[in-house]
Chain A
């Protein structure tokens, strides 16, 4: 295996565009290196993206936040302004593995590993995040929900990398939250993950709501019906029950050693409902 650590996006894209050798991009490496170790992957070349300055920074301006794709989760968690604006996204990033994993794992890696159970992805989808891709044909901006196609599969073209994630400044009375169910309290892959971002009007009625789920389908999914079930209503009672039911109904999970299909269907609704309640509390506390 060869290791490359390009210093620029152009150089990285060039290396990743070459054919003839199996090549993988390396961000935090917490999935890739573990897979190499157990023989799940054996790339001939890995291209380390962490020495590219643009991928390693969080920038804030009047429009919002730009999170470099290789910024580690611990650094995301330490960014007070980001945490205040998008607590759901930050708590999701902070759920990716242990403290040690946090020191390496990145949003870019979590997305491109393309696991249906990735924690940060439902939170980013719910928050309406976009990401910037750079490739041989230049740059493009895509919605996070359009990146993962299925287990291990993304819509990235040959040579493309994720450069950064973009989040706006949150709108008036908007809050987000992410919850997952794992059997342990840490060090687990989500059996179900639910990200919710919603906005309230002055009276506490929901004006917009996005619900995204992880680990209940071949890829993280945006459940439009679940969000719509809440719009126009206070975040309580029947409206929440409708959100919960819509979330469960939208799932198509598998049976595996982490959870049964029936269990995931059932708990998806529970996690979505609980995340919505937290998001609503956060939204209500904002002026």
Chain B
């Protein structure tokens, strides 16, 4: 029996349940809510990269006609330090509170330090000008070497660096040191025929979601708070808002809006606690919407990095050892994904000797946030570029070199455990056999390949499945649908229940209507929440069999749920009972039929992706054009192949943008120079070719349908794929991102000068 024949719905390309809402403009996103008597909130932001707040006088703003409330950090509780791990990056609630509203010091240009609620957005904006702030400007640090210099100003006086040996000298502004690996890399290098050591830098980049952060909050006099907002997890919004206001979670209801993109950037809060406090003070609902400029200046970009990588290889293409030192910019508060970067960078390879040391470094820039496979693309850039150089030096095909060292079942990962079933080899083989890999190239064109890894996350999920009175089924979950997850959950429900997809509705419930669910992140919703949906469906099927048994007056064990109906075992002539029959008789057989599941998803399927990129480089201007692109990825099993492809294409496009043009540009004063979509250059439609996809399916045996997460892996290979392609086209190796035209041309000219 072929794989395809096994399933009726899994793997089909159905129309998503929320599709019509979204193509007709009816879907309501964060900024689309309004309430009668609503106020508009705006945030006052720091004009300095680092300064002590000596005083804030809000009296003139408060006296302004139409202003109903003004808050500073004095209006929020000074909460204690408390670590939380919600989402993909660690969070400390005290630091989160200070990021949402500066207390004592502002730590970056754009840092919030007061907020206003007024009857119109215009009045709120003009009231900001009436807030008088006295600053004592402090020296600031914008890059990691400066931040770690002995004389550097400290961002946080009370920083307690972790991971250092007692008595070790800790440079300023380093919050954490991590180390992992196994073996002795020096032994590996000694055994190598070729050793390549390089240093790489990447700039901060933004997730670039099209929908700015937005929320509407209504606080009642009894302190019940209702939040409508766009986020990657309304349970996260509830927890963070309640924690920052010092109230119980049961007082807060967070209602998820549709989310207009997040990519990790909406796994934290910026506005909700402020809007809630403004609403509590004013007694009126408060709506807050960020401008695009605020999104760039004050919400978490992904970090900048400095990475040194050393790898050794034998003449036969066996890697002998690998070592890396990572410096990851956390921004103004600790918490870069340096751990994830360290864990992922060498993960695709079988290495006897591997060691990674990492540092989390504070600088006067916005607190970084998760961005799609947080920390991994930069590590992959470094490692995959070095691998490409090794392949060149050893005259081995770059895919072949990777295959000779590819991680397999049983390989010990650099982060400790041995892999179970993984599809690294299958992914590379699919890449090698793709016609793209051997297609001819023209003048000034080059081809690059790269491999990438991401863990994917499990975490906690809840789901409910209700059999409605007419026999249709509603699937309810607690994860915002960021890119089609309603469709994948509905498909799994239809498959499990043996009913038509059209009979299944998929809904996302607020925090008061479904059990706790971790964020939509870590590529986990189809995997983990899907697992909860399957469990809830199995719960329902068990109940349906019991109801049928009661009707038939037989033992429940004799009833089986087959192809969407209850059948009595051993009595093929017995008319089966379908969902409609059982739903209609539910009142008389025990009441409503509903299943539920709340779980911590185990058995996450780690995943690999490999990409081929062709570029053409204009040798006179350094402009790089991506002319062909292919992405291959192990999805475990593609529940809805179109949305799996969409993740692969979208991740590739983001990675291409990161490689070529995206970067935060700062002036000397620590002010971002390019806070607009005009000057922060994300790829537009005419920048890209079609992005071919090949879905490899090595099922994850620990998921009922074999699912591996797919959302994050595809942003890991693109940077090195592009950079290796530019090398192939120009003969120049580039170690610093982005490969903007001036940098590429400078490299070409320097190479020509050397050659001349």
Interface residues of A (CB under 8 A from B): 37-38, 181, 183-189, 191, 256-260, 262-263, 266-267, 270
Contact = CB atoms under 8 A, between A and B. Distances in A.
A262 to B, nearest CB: 8
State the main secondary structure of chain A at its contact with B: loop
Interface string B666-679: 00000001101111
A181 B684 contact: no
B686 A263 contact: no
A258 B625 CA distance: 17
A275 to B, nearest CB: 13
A155 B522 CA distance: 57
Nearest to B665: A257
B615 to A, nearest CB: 13
A256 B673 CA distance: 9
Contacts of B681: 183-184, 187-188
B742 interface: yes
State the main secondary structure of chain B at its contact with A: loop
A257 B596 CA distance: 54
Contacts of B677: 187
B741 A183 contact: yes
Contact of A38 (B623, B676, B684): B676
B745 interface: yes
Contacts of A38: 291, 293, 676
B673 A270 contact: no
A258 B679 contact: yes
A58 B665 CA distance: 42
A262 B750 CA distance: 13
A113 to B, nearest CB: 14
B725 interface: no
Given A185-B684, A186-B684, A266-B745, A257 B661 contact: no
B684 A267 contact: no
A184 B620 contact: no
Contact of A257 (B293, B622, B660, B674): B674
Interface in B731-756: 740-742, 745-746
Nearest to B675: A38
Contacts of B687: 184-186
27 contacts: A37-B291, A181-B621, A181-B623, A181-B741, A183-B623, A183-B660, A183-B681, A183-B740, A183-B741, A184-B686, A184-B687, A185-B625, A185-B684, A185-B687, A186-B684, A186-B686, A188-B678, A191-B741, A258-B679, A259-B741, A262-B746, A263-B741, A263-B745, A263-B746, A267-B620, A267-B741, A267-B745
A184 B621 contact: no
A263 B673 CA distance: 19
A183 B679 contact: no
A270 B620 contact: yes
A189 B686 CA distance: 16
B603 interface: no
Given A181-B621, A257-B673, A270-B620, A187 B678 contact: yes
Given A38-B293, A257-B665, A263-B741, A184 B683 contact: yes
A267 B684 CA distance: 23
Contacts of B665: 257
A115 to B, nearest CB: 12
Interface of B: 291, 293, 620-623, 625, 660-661, 665, 673-674, 676-679, 681, 683-684, 686-687, 740-742, 745-746
A146 to B, nearest CB: 29
B741 A184 contact: no
Residue from B620, B660, B676 having most chain A Cβ neighbours under 10 A:
B620
A266 B621 CA distance: 8
Contacts of A260: 742
Given A181-B623, A185-B686, A185-B687, A263 B679 contact: no
Contact of B742 (A185, A188, A189, A259): A259
A263 B681 CA distance: 18
B621 A270 contact: yes
Given A259-B741, A267-B620, 4 more contacts: A38-B293, A184-B686, A191-B741, A260-B742
A117 to B, nearest CB: 12
A280 to B, nearest CB: 18
Contacts of B678: 187-189
Contacts of A183: 623, 660-661, 681, 740-741
B656 to A, nearest CB: 11
A168 to B, nearest CB: 33
B675 to A, nearest CB: 9
B747 to A, nearest CB: 12
A285 to B, nearest CB: 25
Given A181-B623, A183-B623, A257 B679 contact: yes
Nearest to B666: A257
A256 B740 CA distance: 13
A262 B746 CA distance: 9
Nearest to A97: B678
A268 to B, nearest CB: 11
Contacts of A185: 625, 684, 686-687
Contacts of B621: 181, 267, 270
A266 B749 CA distance: 11
Nearest to B685: A186
Given A257-B674, A266-B745, A184 B661 contact: yes
B710 to A, nearest CB: 28
A188 B686 CA distance: 12
Nearest to B657: A184
A46 B121 CA distance: 21
Nearest to A37: B291
Nearest to A273: B620
A266 B660 CA distance: 20
Nearest to B686: A185
B129 to A, nearest CB: 10
B136 to A, nearest CB: 25
Residue from A181, A256, A257, A267 having most chain B Cβ neighbours under 10 A:
A257
Contacts of B674: 257
Contacts of A270: 620-621
Contacts of B625: 185
Contacts of B291: 37-38
A181 B622 CA distance: 10
Nearest to B740: A183
B30 to A, nearest CB: 19
A258 B584 CA distance: 67
Nearest to A244: B620
Residue from A183, A188, A256, A270 having most chain B Cβ neighbours under 10 A:
A183
A187 B660 CA distance: 15
Given A257-B665, A259-B742, A260-B742, A187 B676 contact: no
A13 B725 CA distance: 57
A257 B676 CA distance: 12
A94 B47 CA distance: 37
Contacts of B660: 183
Contacts of A258: 679
Contacts of A37: 291
B626 to A, nearest CB: 10
A184 to B, nearest CB: 5
A38 B665 CA distance: 18
B290 to A, nearest CB: 13
A148 B742 CA distance: 27
